[in-house]
Chains A and B, each alone.
Chain A
Amino acid sequence: MRRTVISLVLAVAAVSLLGAPGAWSGEPIQIALSGPLTGNFAEYGQNWQKAISLGVEWINAAGGVNGRPIAVIYGDSKSDPKEAAALAQKYTADSRLVAEIGDFSSTACMAAQPIYDRAGMVQLSPTASHPDFAPGSVWSFGIIGTQAGEGPFMARYAVQLLGKKRLAILNINNDWGIATRDYFVKAAKEMGAEILGVETYFETEKDFTAVLTKLRGLKPELLYVPSFYNEMALMSKQREKLGWTDVAMMGPGSLFSPKLLEIGGSAVEGLYTSAVFFPGDPRPDVQKFVKGFEAKYQATPNMFAAVAFDSINLLADTIRKVGTDRKAIRDELAKTKDWPGITGKITFTERRDVYKDYRHLVVKNGRFALFEK
């Protein structure tokens, strides 16, 4: 009798651990994640992890996928190309894993891409925006939109909306930074802007005083900085310290993170950026996600959390339709049309990337706000 009670308690505990209302009709469906859970991009990776575990919780609470729960295997790549490739080897060899979400940077994604391609496993990156990433393999998908879309958008923002004609660029020296710079420069030149100077920096750089002093000598009206929040915050602080105040700072949507405001403080006031996801968006599914995220983590989700949330839900919906065969998932995913995500509707082009609607943002009184002229 006593033994029965104990095993009953254990069984209930086991089921409730899975977060399910009743018994599952099968093993969990496993999806792999490769992202920067630690390291310099850790804030992005941790946002992914939070949003994805919230997504999984909601999917499983609603009965899972075809009677089976979803489980995500989290792997830490630090967004290092070597680590991303090693994780890809591990994931593709494990037949229980049906698809992969990741990696973070285009560089890391493209390093792992040939491995997913050879093994035949979906590689769905929430954030890779390099225009050559998704076309590189029929197994690769990108849902953040590419610089081919964001570059001209930012150029219109700078040249037409803000009326800045004398521009200078300071970009991170990697695949993503160069592509981001080139699409912006091409579009800005077509709109009649003048590019006074282009400088690059390496990923580990912390001292921007010399390069800022050099750019300052060119007297640009606006400095466009394809970079991440960490460097942008340091750069802004060092710019402030040098007393260079008569320049507008602008960067792509990669800067849209509370950490930028936290590290940058007063130095990032007036900075222009963009976003595909804005927590103040009144759409009900966006508000449901924002409220759920805030209740669980006491923090407002950012764009990176939102695209990760879309990634897991998109995969779950796809698996719901075609089952867990890796090839069937790819074929169905490629057909995705007008799928309603919290970062806008997702329709894959024949290159398996998407065009996004962007929002004009500006840092105002220490917060991100929609830009109004």
Chain B
Amino acid sequence: MLVAQLINGLTQGSLYALIALGFVLIFGTMNLVTFAHGEVFMVGAFVGCFALTLWHLPWYAALALGMLAGWTLGFCIEKVAFRPLRAAGHMPPLLITIGLSIILRDLAVILFGAENRSVPSLFDQTFPLAGVQVSLLQIVILALVGVLIVGLHTLLQHTEIGRAMRATAQDHEAAYAMGVNVNRIFSLAFALASALGAAAGVLVGIYYNAVYPAMGVTAGLKGFAACIFGGLTSIPGAILGGLIIGVVENLTVQFIASGYRDVVAFLVMVVVLVVRPQGLLGRKLRAV
């Protein structure tokens, strides 16, 4: 059972990690937090669900469409909530994203209803591994998340645009002085982060067979937690943070009780942050 719970935990954790990466990209490049990320995730899940159930598209097309919707939405959010307020400090964009998240969630309730919408099962097969039955879907999800992470890594480390993004993350003004179009980089980072969040939404919908308007609330919170847990601007940190939260939750269900999963997950996080305020793999905070 332990192996089965570890695989359950890793699958769930990899989805948290994907959401956390979005927060890292946005915070890393723009030094700002968005609270609409959970709702971008939800919109991705709905688009994926419609692609599968209404338009009868294959899963990869559903994933691509979900990511495209996330990309577009992220691009718009950056234009509306962040760009005009660049000089206004941290608070106004933060509040705007809280407002946007409520608008998106309530719009989804009005348009689609508050109830669960069923998503068809995919990759139903199971196969034996280390003495337990493992679901093919879990392996597919882990593999897809892995591919997205490798893709992101390649983009950031081995392309011109990735270098521009890293330069912007280190110092906006210096990057601007070197001829980097900082505004374009911000747009790109936000859209990319949103596409990853939406991809997580599509995969969660397929994994749990359900999408509903409030699904972004906990997902956004868990992703944000994984991002802080990992060290706020560290990509490996966010991945590690997501995986740890996922595994801890599932082991809690196995060894304590189902109701304690969030309690223990957040407790572990609080303890780690008290001991290591910079997060698991974060840089040491500079004294101001």
B211's nearest neighbour on chain A, judged by CB, is A206
Chain B nearest CB, measured from A159 CB (Å): 25
A267 to B119, alpha carbons, bound, how many Å?
13
In the complex, what residue of chain A is closest to B110 when comparing beta carbons?
A38
- Complex Cα distance, B8 from A211, in Å, reads 10
**Interfacial chain B residues near A40, Cβ < 8 Å:** 114-116, 212
- Cβ contact within 8 Å between B209 and A202: no
Contact A217 B12 (CB under 8 A): no
Task: Verify if A42 is at the interface (C-beta below 8 Å from B).
Answer: yes
Report A303-360 residues with CB < 8 Å from chain B CB: none
Write out the residue numbers on chain A whose beta carbons fall within 8 Å of the beta carbon of B120. Answer: 265
Chain A nearest CB from B213 CB (Å) reads 11
* Contact flags A233-246 to B (C-beta < 8 A → 1, else 0): 11001101111100
Asked whether, in the complex, the Cβ of B118 is within 8 Å of the Cβ of A210, the reply is no
Query: Which residue on chain A has the smallest CB distance to residue B137?
Result: A241
Whether B261 sits at the interface, judged by CB under 8 Å, is yes
Chain B interface category by residue count: 20 to 34
- Is A43 interfacial (CB-CB < 8 Å)? yes
* A28-60 to B contact mask, C-beta < 8 Å, 1/0: 000000000011101100000000000000000
**B1: which of A173, A202, A214, A267 is its contact (CB, 8 Å)?**
A214
Cα A202 to Cα B263 with chains together (Å): 13
Contacts of A233 in B (CB 8 A): 118, 209
- The residue on A at minimum CB distance from B132 is A213
A217 B209 Cβ-Cβ under 8 A:
no
A38 touches B137 (CB 8 A): no
Q: Shortest beta-carbon distance, B109 to chain A, in Å? A: 8
Which of B94-102, B150-158, B249-257 is the contact stretch?
B249-257
A199 near B258: Cβ-Cβ < 8 Å: yes
| Residues A237 and B121 in contact in the complex (CB < 8 Å), given A242-B126, A243-B126 | yes
A265 contacts across to B, CB distance below 8 A? 120-121
**Minimum Cβ distance to chain A for residue B257 (Å):** 7
Q: How many residues of A contact B (CB 8 A)?
A: 36
**Interface 0/1 of A217-237, CB less than 8 Å to B:** 100000000000010011001
Tell me whether A39 and B114 are in contact (CB under 8 A): yes
Q: Mark B130-159, 1 if CB is under 8 A from A, else 0.
A: 000101010000000000000000000000
Residue of A nearest to B133 (CB): A243
Which A residues are in CB contact (< 8 Å) with B212?
A: 40
Per the bound structure, the CA–CA distance linking A204 and B208 in Å amounts to 13
User: Do the beta carbons of B209 and A234 come within 8 Å of each other?
Assistant: yes
Find chain B residues with CB under 8 A from A243 CB: 126, 133, 135
- Minimal beta-carbon separation of B285 from chain A (angstroms): 34
Find the residue from A201, A213, A216, A242 having the highest chain B CB count within 10 A: A213
With most chain A CB atoms within 10 A of its CB, the pick from B4, B9, B254 is B4
* Nearest chain B residue, comparing its CB with the CB of A207: B208
Residues of chain B in range 85-125 having any CB-CB distance to chain A below 8 Å: 113-116, 118, 120-121, 124
In whole angstroms, how far apart are the Cα atoms of A210 and B12 in the complex?
10
Known: A200-B259, A210-B8. A38 touches B126 (CB 8 A): no
Q: Which residue of A lies closest to B4 (CB)?
A: A213
Least CB distance from A28 to B in Å reads 30
Interface string of B213-251 (1 = CB under 8 A from A): 011001000000000000000000000000000000110
Complex CA–CA separation, A207 to B258 (angstroms):
10
Contact, CB under 8 Å: A210 / B258: yes
**In the bound complex, what is the Cα–Cα distance between A373 and B126 (angstroms)?**
32
Q: Which residues of B contact A202 (CB under 8 A)?
A: 259
A285 at the interface (CB under 8 A from B): no
Bound state CA distance, A216 and B250, in angstroms? 14
Is A210's CB under 8 angstroms from B115's CB? no
- A210-B116 CB under 8 A given contacts A234-B209, A241-B124, A243-B133: no
Cβ 8 A contact of B121, one of A173, A200, A214, A241: A241
| Interface residues in B162-212 (C-beta closer than 8 Å to A) | 208-210, 212
Q: Which residues of B are found within 8 Å of A182, using beta-carbon distances? A: none
Interface centre among B208, B254, B261, by most chain A C-beta atoms within 10 angstroms, is B208
B130 CB to closest chain A CB (Å) equals 14
Contact B253–A242 (Cβ < 8 Å): no
Contact indicator A263/B5 (Cβ below 8 Å): no
Other-chain contact of A200, B208, B214, B218, B258 (Cβ < 8 Å) = B258
Please state if A42 and B115 are interface contacts (CB–CB under 8 Å). yes
Residues of B within 8 A of A206 (CB): 116, 208, 210, 215
Known: A210-B250, A213-B254, A237-B209. A230 touches B261 (CB 8 A): no
In the complex, how many angstroms separate the beta carbon of B227 from the nearest chain A beta carbon? Answer: 20
Task: Assess whether B1 is in contact with A210, with CB atoms less than 8 Å apart.
Answer: no
B118 touches A263 (CB 8 A): yes
User: What residues of chain A lie closer than 8 Å to B254, measured between beta carbons?
Assistant: 210, 213-214
A209 lies within 8 A of chain B by Cβ: yes
Measured CA separation A278–B210 after assembly (Å): 28
In the complex, besides A206-B215, A213-B250, A213-B254, 13 extra interface pairs with C-beta distance below 8 angstroms are A40-B114, A40-B212, A42-B115, A78-B114, A210-B254, A211-B253, A211-B258, A213-B1, A213-B8, A214-B254, A216-B4, A230-B210, A242-B126
A-binding residues in B (CB < 8 A): 1, 4-5, 8-9, 12, 113-116, 118, 120-121, 124, 126, 133, 135, 137, 208-210, 212, 214-215, 218, 249-250, 253-254, 257-259, 261
Chosen A-B contacts, 28 in total, with CB atoms closer than 8 Å, are: A39-B114, A78-B114, A199-B257, A200-B257, A200-B258, A205-B258, A206-B116, A206-B208, A206-B215, A209-B12, A209-B250, A210-B253, A210-B258, A210-B261, A213-B5, A214-B254, A230-B116, A233-B118, A234-B208, A237-B209, A238-B208, A238-B209, A240-B124, A241-B124, A241-B137, A243-B135, A263-B116, A265-B121
Report the 5 A-B pairs with minimum CB-CB distance, sorted nearest first: A243-B126, A210-B253, A243-B133, A217-B1, A263-B118
